[in-house]
């Protein structure tokens, strides 16, 4: 695992998550408990949970980075 830890994420910041070959760019909207987060996709504006993105585990390519644009 490379990149940053989930606990380092902050509400209102933009992030990129790569897992199992899929890239997801999102804004962190809300912290929902200790291990889950409400996210807003930057491309589709769809809302979803972090648990949806990692429900099948973390692949060898797992990486979480903040986007500085």
Centre a 10 Å sphere on the Cβ of residue 15 and count the other Cβ atoms it contains. Answer: 23
Q: For residue 1, is pLDDT > 60? A: no
In tens, the pLDDT along 13-54 reads 999 999 999 999 999 999 998 889 999 999 999 999 999 999
CATH class of this structure's domain 9-66: mainly beta
Q: Hey, where are the domains in the chain?
A: 9-66
Residues in Cβ contact with 43 at an 8 Å cutoff, skipping those fewer than 6 apart: 25
pTM: 0.90
């Amino acid at each position: 695992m490379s990149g940053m830890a989930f606990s380092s994420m902050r509400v209102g910041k933009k992030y990129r998550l790569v897992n199992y070959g899929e890239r997801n760019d999102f804004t962190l909207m809300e912290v929902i408990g200790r291990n889950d987060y409400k996210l807003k996709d930057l491309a589709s504006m769809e809302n979803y949970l972090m648990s949806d993105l990692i429900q099948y585990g973390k692949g060898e390519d797992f990486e979480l980075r903040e986007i500085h644009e």
